[in-house]
Amino acid sequence: MLRKILLAGMFLVFVSLSAFAQSGSITGTVTDANTGDVLPSANVFIQSLQKGTVTNANGEYSISDVPAGTYTVRYSYVGYGAVERDVQVQSGEVTINVSLKPGAELEDVVVTGYQTKTKTKSSISSSQVDAESLNDVPNASASQTLTGKVAGLNITTSSGQPGADPQINLRGVSSLNGDTEPLILLDGTPVNDDNIASLNPSVIENVTVLKDAGATAIYGTRGANGVILIQTKTGAYNSGVQVNYSAQVKRTTIREEEYDLLSGPEQLQLEQDVLGGNVLGLNPSNFSDAPTTDWIDYFFDPAVATQHNLSVSTGKENIKTYTAFGFTNQKGALNGSRLKRFNVRNNISGRSDNRKFNYSVNTSINYNNDKSLTSIGTSGINQNPLLAAKESVPYLTPEDYPGNGSDLVSLSGVSFAYTPLYLIDKQNYNNNRDRKVKVTGGLSGSYQITKELEANVRLGGDYERNDNRYSRNPNSFNSIIFAQTGNSYNGVQDVNSTESFTYDLNTNLQYQTQFNEVHEVTVGAYFEMNQGFYEFSGFTNNGIVPNTFTPGDGSSFIGDGPTNDFYVNPVSLNKLKSGLLSYFGTADYSYADRFGASVTIRRDASYRFSDSNKWGTFYAVSGYWNIANESFMSDGPFDVLKLRASYGKSGNQNIVGSQGQFASFGGNSLTQNLYSSGNLYRGAPALAFSQLGNNTLKWEEVKQTNLGIDFELFDSRLVGSLDGYIKTTDDLFQSQPISAVSGQTSINTNVGTLENRGIEFDVSYDFLRNRNGFNLTLGVLGGYNKQEVIDLPQNDGEIVNGITILREGGPLNQFYVYPYEGVNPNNGNLQFRDAQGNITENPVPAEDRVATGKNIYPDWQGSINLDVSYKGLYLQTQWQYAIGVYRIDNRYAGLVDPTSVGQFVSSKDLLDNWTPQNTDASQPRYDAPNRSLDNNSDRFLVNSDYFRLRNAIIGYNLPSSILESVNLRGARIFVSGENILTFTPWKGLDPETLNATNSRLYPNPRIFTVGLELQL
């Protein structure tokens, strides 16, 4: 497979280089009209050729290989009014120097996926992140580069595994059981959410996030959670070969915990005091000789990663190409975790001589070879390496591991205290690898039938294959300890493969006209079809001969025999299809760039529902008013002042919460009665009723109201936007209790309402704008979101799930506990407060627990961004914050639990336990009879807010004098850090997760990077 990918990439480079062309050039300098200072990174663009560049640190630019002729060249810079110049090019070099005046820039393009509009005429709530902003965050994951760059977009990475998929939510969580992540389109092709994690960030031109109903209703059933549009880079017409190369070296570590743990001697003494002995059977006189092992330091090592990116672009008169290669070799901070990724991206665009016909071909190939550790997050003492790293007793050392599973069984049997040795054995004898191939591609074409009428067609596909290989050596501890009597070859090999392919076909006609010079009307008619195919196959081999065992090889397999069922090898298969059919229309009107309105209506049919509810109708209406363009504002302080409003309805057909490769296929049979087969009655084959179907199931519907304002003041030094929204989800997919007369106690149905209300802001100010070469910009963005469960199917309006509750009138999954009130100084028991507010030692969970209003979702989140530059030197920082986050600190709960003594490490806080001589202790007495009641209390409910230096980068762009001497277009070196500092009340390794109770997860690492970028 890798060889084929390399050959394909070489062919694409050959195609790109064959498009080479050469001609005259345009050069010059771009400066500030008021101060005369040069403007670095100003855009210079020839629209008719789709060719351009940016100025260097000295404000100089050069566009080479321009064919002879007259062209309109556009000069623009953030915060300055754009200027256009007509330039005649013959042979040789033409010099054009341009001065830009500070002021509003309104003609930026806003992409909505199916159409584009100028920023002036856009009525939607959206945010765009350009390539420069993305490249400022050197990361192997495209999703990570978006963190903190879009108000209202919450990207949470709950695993530090290299290449792990993050959880992405926009404007809160809009479903209780369904998928809550936005729709993602890559160059117009819908792709599953795994793609954004595996996409090479260096190929991205820009990312647009669509937020309100005015923007997302056009996506119908898939737009309820917002939409993320990713546009990759293309070449330029009439350009020579341009080569960009970047290399990065990274060092990965983890944040230190802040728990005060006992040393080895102290832990042994505590066991002696509490248990009257210790696991090792040592004499107390020898305790002082015991070691103190830092198991986190053992299981986590500083890791080194490398990343390389190479791109080649070129263009002729009517064709342009862009080809990019990427390779990442990233070891995880947790020993045994790793990611190897190879990316190829090729974009070819072209047009006819008369410019009426345009086409593009996009292809992306991603190959991942991952090594990961299984059972992370679980409570298995012989499975989860995070449990061993965080909770193991300190008086054991890695040298205590006897070298093989058989001797480890003899040494320890099954004892919690030997957890780290079990995990050392697992790392030695278990192997888990994933190989993923992702291929996405698209073909699109447009034809200008008349000046006003254009026809468009796009066909896109998303293919993914995921192969997992897991093996457990028969000599391992886990194989031996769990072997049935008489089974000497209890090894296992699992082979699982999933393969999916979805395609999306869209055709449309768009008509645009203008009359009386002030009225502009655009209408569009669209048809779309989406279909998917999914297959799964799995095989488990029970029984491995150790002498010939090699992970992934079948020579050691043992077949099933007649005397026992030790070596029965189960096989599993699954095959699914999915489908959507849609037709929709849009209409836009604008008047003299002053005000305008848009209307969208869409009809969708989904395979998930029965004929009576197969079709859904979704719509939106939006409008804008450019107040600053009114005559009464001519002398006002605003360069831009625009009011926006929208209302609409979109849908969510992914009602069961399936994600990734399986997202399009989950919940495909919920309308049907299902029966399961198996050996049921006395072991005989039989059928059993397993699901009561509901043929009235339908979409979850999200109605959203948005009101926003965009503004710019002081020659556009101050730029910002403010949005308020109300997003209501009706017909929530839930399980409703029913009579058990059918053999089932619940049925899947649409019932209930959830609401998200919030505000978003994004403001930046240029304190210094090219003042003697200095630039300083400060930006703050964020959002507040309040959730409220409006309606639930239960008669009492609440659903209790462990220590959380869904209750009408309250937020999602709020903690449902009674207050802990410390230690009773009279007897050392735990004290709590009951529902009536009285102090008690014996609260009743069913009666005394109260809804706290606290949950894992932040109330406020956002970032503070500082950009400073002086000529070629620059510094950029991003501080990320989350406020209103609460989690249960089960890690600390275990550290102060006296029943864990002799099994796991303890906190020094446990030494301050109640005794008759220590009545003001912070911890209850060791044998307090009501200790288990704190499981339903807020004793370990901890604020998990954080303020984190998410990214910082300092770099230097080499001056043109050096570049010219080595024949380079550009070069920069930089040093960056990710998750450098974290300020939080949370004492664990990482406060960032959407898991409310689990402290045994792979933490996000701290990454330091050194990088080099060259432009040839």
Asked if residue 385 is part of any domain, the answer here is no
pLDDT band of 140, cuts 50, 70, 90 = low
Same domain, 78 and 147: no
Q: How far apart are CA 628 and CA 355, in angstroms?
A: 36
Give percent of the chain above pLDDT 70: 95
Select the more confidently predicted residue: 847 or 682. Answer: 847
The closest alpha carbon to 650, from 595, 705, 607, belongs to: 705
**What per-residue confidence (pLDDT) applies to 13?**
42
**What per-residue confidence (pLDDT) applies to 293?**
96
Same domain, 229 and 155: yes
Number of domain units in the chain: 2
DSSP 876-899: EEEEEEEES-EEE-HHHHHHT-GG
- The separation between the first and the last C-alpha atoms of the chain, rounded to the nearest angstrom, is 31
Question: End of a domain among 100, 127, 142?
Answer: 100
Average pLDDT estimate for 784-802: 90
**What per-residue confidence (pLDDT) applies to 22?**
47
**What per-residue confidence (pLDDT) applies to 664?**
74
Select the more confidently predicted residue: 901 or 192. Answer: 901
**What per-residue confidence (pLDDT) applies to 20?**
39
pLDDT of 135 strictly over 90: no
Asked if residue 834 is part of any domain, the answer here is no
Q: How far apart are CA 749 and CA 733, in angstroms?
A: 6
Same domain, 167 and 219: yes
**What per-residue confidence (pLDDT) applies to 680?**
66
pLDDT band of 661, cuts 50, 70, 90 = low
Tell me what the pLDDT averaged over the chain comes to: 88
pLDDT of 722 strictly over 90: yes
Single-letter code of the amino acid located at 413: G
> For 941-975, how does the pLDDT look when each residue is reduced to its tens digit (9 = 90+)?
999 999 999 999 999 998 888 888 888 888 999 99
Crossing angle (nearest 10°) for helices 419-429 and 405-412: 170
Asked if residue 200 is part of any domain, the answer here is yes
**What per-residue confidence (pLDDT) applies to 15?**
41
Same domain, 119 and 226: yes
CATH code, 207: 2.170.130.10
pLDDT of 30 strictly over 80: yes
> Can you read off the two tokens belonging to residue 107?
């003609």
CATH code, 68: 2.60.40.1120
**What per-residue confidence (pLDDT) applies to 658?**
64
Cβ atoms of residues 205 and 132 within 8 Å: no
> For 1005-1016, how does the pLDDT look when each residue is reduced to its tens digit (9 = 90+)?
999 999 999 988
Phi, psi for 42 (deg, rounded to 5): -75, 145
**What per-residue confidence (pLDDT) applies to 961?**
81
Average pLDDT estimate for 412-425: 90
**What per-residue confidence (pLDDT) applies to 833?**
96
Left, alpha or beta for 516 (phi > 0: left; psi -120 to 50: alpha)?
left
Average pLDDT estimate for 58-64: 85
> Can you read off the two tokens belonging to residue 472?
């457990």
pLDDT of 994 strictly over 60: yes
> For 330-388, how does the pLDDT look when each residue is reduced to its tens digit (9 = 90+)?
999 999 999 999 999 999 999 999 989 999 999 999 999 988 888 888 888 888 999 99
Same domain, 84 and 199: no
**What per-residue confidence (pLDDT) applies to 11?**
44
Q: How far apart are CA 967 and CA 981, in angstroms?
A: 40
> Can you read off the two tokens belonging to residue 399?
């040298």
Q: Which helix (H) or strand (E) holds 410?
A: helix 405-412
Same domain, 197 and 123: yes
Asked if residue 379 is part of any domain, the answer here is no
Cβ atoms of residues 203 and 235 within 8 Å: no
pLDDT of 506 strictly over 90: yes
**What per-residue confidence (pLDDT) applies to 21?**
39
pLDDT of 247 strictly over 70: yes
Same domain, 202 and 88: no
pLDDT band of 448, cuts 50, 70, 90 = very high
Same domain, 121 and 79: no
Asked if residue 14 is part of any domain, the answer here is no
Q: What DSSP designation does 1001 have?
A: S
Asked if residue 456 is part of any domain, the answer here is no
The closest alpha carbon to 308, from 335, 336, 329, belongs to: 329
Question: End of a domain among 238, 256, 285?
Answer: 238
Same domain, 122 and 87: no
Same domain, 79 and 120: no
Asked if residue 567 is part of any domain, the answer here is no
Same domain, 134 and 36: no
Question: End of a domain among 69, 100, 131?
Answer: 100
Q: How many residues does the chain have?
A: 1016
Q: What DSSP designation does 913 have?
A: B
Q: What is the 3-state secondary structure (H, E, C) of 101-151?
A: CECCCCCCEEECCCCEEEHHHCCCCEEEEEHHHHHCCCCCCHHHHCCCCCC
318-332, 727-741, 791-805, 811-825: lowest mean pLDDT where?
727-741
> For 738-754, how does the pLDDT look when each residue is reduced to its tens digit (9 = 90+)?
777 777 777 888 888 99
Asked if residue 35 is part of any domain, the answer here is yes
pLDDT of 867 strictly over 80: yes
Which residue range(s) make up the domain with 218?
Answer: 111-238
Same domain, 230 and 118: yes
